[in-house]
Structure 1
Amino acid sequence: MWKWLSRCVPGLSLLLLIALLCLAFPDAMSRPPDILPWSRNHHPPPTTPHGNGPPRHPMPLSLTQKTFLGYTLLVHFNAFTFVCRLAQAFSRMLKETRAVLRRRPSSQSSSCTPSFCDSPMMTPSISTEHPICFDLGSLEDGKEGEVIHAIILPNYSDDLGTLQTTLRVLAYHPRAATQYEVFLAMEQKEITAPEKAATLISTFQERFRDISGTFHPAGLAGEISGMGSNVAWAAKHIVETRTEDTVDCRDVIITVKWMATDTHLSQDYFNEIRHKHWQHNAEAERAFYASPIIFDRNSNSVPILVRCADLLWAFAGVSAMYPGCSIIIPTSVYSLPLALAKRVGGWDGDPTAIGEDMHMLLKCYFETAGDIVTHVIASPASQCNIQSTGDDNWGPGALTLFARYRQALRHMWGSLDTGYSVRQSVGCLVGKGSRRFQLKVRHLALFHLLFEAHFLPCHLTVLLVFSAVYTACVPASSMNPTLAWAFWITGVLRGLVLRGLSFVGMNACITLYDSWYDICVGARARDMTKAGVNDTGFSFRKWYHPRQLAERVCFPIAGTVFGSIPAIHAELSHFWTDRLVYRVSKKPTFASAPVALPV
């Protein structure tokens, strides 16, 4: 019963909010349809001779109305502060991403080909003509001053060509042959998995320190098929093979590319982890590394609502990377040392771990009694937007929208992690030994991030819809002045104060994002040109292009369709099940001529 109650916390909060609205405004909930403002029989309430309307002495606010006022102001203020933090985070990303690129040794810099030199993204601000060479020798106290990167690549029914392209991108990295160990985390029930693994291993075995395949068995008790269980099984293999290894498990960094096999990481991602690992070596065994994500491959060829939804998804991850943030929840890509993974007992493969990236961060946090250190890696993971080719019944645009909703539902199914956090928090408060710890500011910051991820989207939508309907039905002159003021501050029909400021702030964030995007896609274009990998796709942005201008208006719609609605869908579904059937999302393919592996 306790497990069910805890997993349903987000859904229960939604029901409590609706109950609060019913208790605070019983007149609105019982108002007959024939007096709605759009009804033919609607008659406005009688007014005074001056037209100001009754009552001259408004009824005092009830306790439930005061609760509603406090909560709606809190939710809208939280949305506004989210935008402020997001702007801070993008300002930080602009500065740190430029610094990351300038740390590249001059031997790795290359001039761009004419096809990319004409792009507005190739600006002098990211030029590597005078790079700042960064030598880690003074920081490296290990035997050889290196780390081993164990890269888990979870996949299920992914196209062989997509996997090959992803591995070619990794094989281009200077340290791939000596420091990268790739684990193809597959499902045993996928018939073609062994054949694909054999093909990839034979093709790339000389390009990496090691490459192997792991196959998650079907039907294991307490586990479900999906990316999370594949990662958990591959991680067990890593731990087993490192039992008698001479390399310190602190110096083995496990990287999980969670979103899909189409995720591409720059060499800078691994170089920066190496840099931070030795720079903060005293805390290396409890370090957790996270990077932002960027949809820069096919965003110009998908419907605008899909593009905006992925834009907001990327924003959600970046929002916790502002200067001074106490903890970061990863989105899609993250890394941690093998020592930490062993300390917390590896990855989970049960239904509650469907949000694998967030879930692993939470597991590390609670299993270590909050004793982890999170680092931002200012080298984004390149992602593809979902894109369908259509079928006989639906066009590509419609199927892409349907597929994006399924993906959003899977994302929001991760609200199970709120229940997991509630259970772990209670256990840590009443537990004994090393896992017992007191609530502190950092713990509250973590729960605030969970609130923004699993509560804020659906609560904000419910409050917005209610305020719009209520203010349309009840004139401001009939409300308590304090109530009317609150609706004016937060409403959508009679006032756009907090929501208006948030809208303007989001547009400012999109402007900052455009500048950061230009730097990132330009750097990736140069890297792929040098590597000879020309089938990864590039979507350059121009702020004055109609499709980019349209994003500045359409993002609230996309946030509702692919954020709030699937969140409500998932949270209400958790009342009767915690299992979601995993379906592979369709991603685009990029045509190219055959490209030889870089030497």
Structure 2
Amino acid sequence: MLGWLTRCLPGFSLIGLALLLLCAFTDILQSPLAKKFLPQPPISSPGQEGPWSGLVWPQRIFIIYTLWLHVHTLAFTLRLVWSILTAIRSTREVLQRRLETSPISSPQSPQPVDQLYSDQPISPVSLSSPSISPYDKKNFVSTHELTEKELVHAIILPNYSEDLHTLETTLRVLASHPRAKSQYEIYLAMEQKEATATDKAALLMSTFENSFLDIHPTFHAAGIEGEIAGKSSNVACAARRIMEIHRTELKLDCCNVIVTVMDADTHLSRDYFTEILRLHYAHLDEADRSIYCCPILFDRNSHEVPILVRCADLMWGFAGLSTMYPRTWISIPTSVYSLPLSMAEKVGGWDSDPTAIGEDMHMLLKCYFETAGNIVSRVVHSPASQCNVSSDSSRGWRRTVDTCFARYRQALRHMWGALDTGFAARRSLGYLRFHQRCSFLHPRHFALLLLLWEAHFLPAHLTIVMIFSVMYKIWTPTTHMHPTLIWAFTITEILRAISFLSMNGCLFLYDRWHKICLDSRMEDMHEANISDTGCARRVWYKPQFLADRICFPIAGTIFGAIPTLHAVIAHFWTDRLVYRVSKKPTFSLDAVGLA
């Protein structure tokens, strides 16, 4: 019963919001039964009328709540501005470190690390170099400090019915990294029920067996009780295989393996892994409880998809990026993240039940609660290159419609992750049950709960309140509205306008960051002679990108609020969703510079 109640918390919140609007703006509270059992607002004495005088309690609550929703939305956009500015600066620093920093071999390293940032060793740059910022000096790890052996990166590539070309391209990008042969273990996390899984795995292994330290296929068996088919189950199965291979190191507590989970179409720069190495040794005392996440960037085919799909993916990327500002309490990973194998083993690995469909956030929450809130979020400012969903249809209106429907299915799967709110609620109650009040009252815990509210409650609540407020003002003459209610509607309209302008500022800054990241990726692809990865530049003055600045609220409603409503209402009777893989685009060999 507790599981169902907590699972349906977002749905119950919608019922509560509906009851609030009903009680606040109908005559239901004036019935004799309501007057008998419900508290009534105090009657003001003549000459003592205040701004709340004449308002029933639900109206007062509505005013406070609608102001809170709009203030929080504005705070989100301002936080996002800060995050993008940080991303621009930090991404440049990452690229600068690649050019200026080259470690020398450590006597204790079984594998030379002279290719940490480049293929050929160059003279290391002194910390006194004027081109390195104070921030960089503070977080710089000199090569003389790298006295431990290199990290091994166990990379999980979950896939089900993915196009072979998509997987080959992703592996070619990883194989182009200088340390792929010595540090990368690839795990092809497949579904056993896929008819071509075995043949596909065999082909990929034969093609890339000499490109990596090792490559293994894993096959998640169908029909296991309590498990669902999807990314979470595939990752869980692959993680168990990784633990088996590294069991000896785990027992001896000398495991230097970092597990990275990514999507089948994700392209990661070599900087992603070298930054993890840098952060690992810069914070060695916290390395065993650190989880690494990076922003995601849709820079491959966004110029080809419908504007609403492009805007929806922008908002999805912004949601994760907004938690990656300096000194944040906790960052939420989106699609791509890494963590030590030792921590994954201690928390019991990845879950594969229906509540873990959003396995990135779910694994973060599991690590958080299993460590009593002591995990550390570290941002890797080397963004993951992603594709927008595509369609098999030919060009034209049919392709547009099919792509929008595919994006809605993907959005529903994302919003199905609202089940994590119930998971977090149950684990939070466990803090109180076992008298761990210090953990429950820690600011980091409140920050986490606020992010969950922002992800699983805010989109639907804000949309409902906005639509209701607009319709109520249209239907109700101003002379029939309470002055405080008029004031609240006016303030929220101003807050919405400021939020709209702030989001336009975010899009302006995003275009600058997008160009930096895309130029770097395309240069890497040119050096690696990989020419079919796709390239979608954002040219701000072109009409299709100017339209992004107007259409993002519509996309946020269609692919954010509505799928949230769909998911949380469905959770009243089921927690299972059929996992459907989104179609990925195929790029031609000369598709390297499209605008």
Please indicate the TM-score interval, normalised by the length of the shorter structure. Answer: 0.7 to 0.9
The answer on 1:200 being equivalent to 2:204 is yes
Corresponding residue number in structure 2 for 1:536: 533
Query: Matched residue of 1:103: which SS?
Result: helix
Summarize deviations over 1:476-504 as a string: whole Å, max 9, x none. 222111111001122xxxxx300000000
CA contact (8 A) 1:154 1:184 kept: yes
Distance 2:413 2:52 in 1: 47
Summarize deviations over 1:104-141 as a string: whole Å, max 9, x none. 1469779xxxxxxxxxxxxxxx9xxxx99977423323
TM-score (normalizing by structure 1): 0.87
Question: Following TM superposition, where does structure 1 have runs of at least 4 consecutive aligned residues deviating by more than 3 angstroms?
Answer: 27-30, 105-110, 131-136, 245-250, 391-394, 435-438
User: By how many angstroms is 1:470 displaced?
Assistant: 0.5
1:253-268 alignment, distance < 5 Å: 253-257=258-262, 260-268=263-271
Cα distance change, pair 58–465 in 1 and its aligned pair in 2 (3 A): same
Corresponding residue number in structure 2 for 1:558: 555
Corresponding residue number in structure 1 for 2:476: 474
Cα distance change, pair 63–539 in 1 and its aligned pair in 2 (3 A): same
- Counterpart AA for 1:139: E
1:349-498 alignment, distance < 5 Å: 349-390=352-393, 395-431=398-434, 437-490=439-492, 496-498=493-495
Distance 1:274 1:59 in 2: 61
Distance 1:161 1:572 in 2: 38
Select the residue among 211, 214, 218 that pairs with 1:214. Answer: 218
CA contact (8 A) 1:249 1:338 kept: no
Cα distance change, pair 424–173 in 1 and its aligned pair in 2 (3 A): same
- Counterpart AA for 2:482: N
* RMSD over equivalenced CA pairs, Å: 2.5
- Counterpart AA for 1:423: R
TM-score (normalizing by structure 2): 0.87
Corresponding residue number in structure 1 for 2:504: 507
Corresponding residue number in structure 2 for 1:103: 97
Query: Matched residue of 1:390: which SS?
Result: coil
Distance 2:181 2:278 in 1: 19
The answer on 1:251 being equivalent to 2:256 is yes
Distance 1:527 1:198 in 2: 28
Corresponding residue number in structure 2 for 1:300: 303
Distance 1:135 1:485 in 2: 55
Query: Matched residue of 1:587: which SS?
Result: coil
User: By how many angstroms is 1:394 displaced?
Assistant: 6.9
Summarize deviations over 1:9-61 as a string: whole Å, max 9, x none. 0010011001100001115999xxxxxxxxxxxxxxxxxxxxxxxxxx99711
Corresponding residue number in structure 1 for 2:18: 18
Gaps of 5+ in 1: 31-56, 111-125, 491-495
Distance 2:52 2:554 in 1: 36
Distance 2:71 2:307 in 1: 28
CA contact (8 A) 2:157 2:189 kept: yes
The answer on 1:191 being equivalent to 2:195 is yes
Cα distance change, pair 185–151 in 1 and its aligned pair in 2 (3 A): same
Distance 1:311 1:16 in 2: 31
Distance 2:590 2:209 in 1: 23
Distance 1:394 1:593 in 2: 26
1:269-348 alignment, distance < 5 Å: 269-348=272-351
Cα distance change, pair 538–248 in 1 and its aligned pair in 2 (3 A): farther
CA contact (8 A) 1:389 1:395 kept: no
Select the residue among 171, 174, 181 that pairs with 1:170. Answer: 174
CA contact (8 A) 2:459 2:561 kept: yes
CA contact (8 A) 1:28 1:470 kept: no
Q: How many residue pairs align between the two structures?
A: 541
User: By how many angstroms is 1:593 displaced?
Assistant: 7.4
CA contact (8 A) 1:105 1:134 kept: no
User: By how many angstroms is 1:419 displaced?
Assistant: 0.3
Distance 2:435 2:224 in 1: 31
Corresponding residue number in structure 2 for 1:141: 147
Distance 1:376 1:163 in 2: 26
Corresponding residue number in structure 2 for 1:6: 6
Corresponding residue number in structure 2 for 1:84: 78
- Counterpart AA for 2:571: H
Summarize deviations over 1:182-226 as a string: whole Å, max 9, x none. 000000001100111111111111110000100000011100000
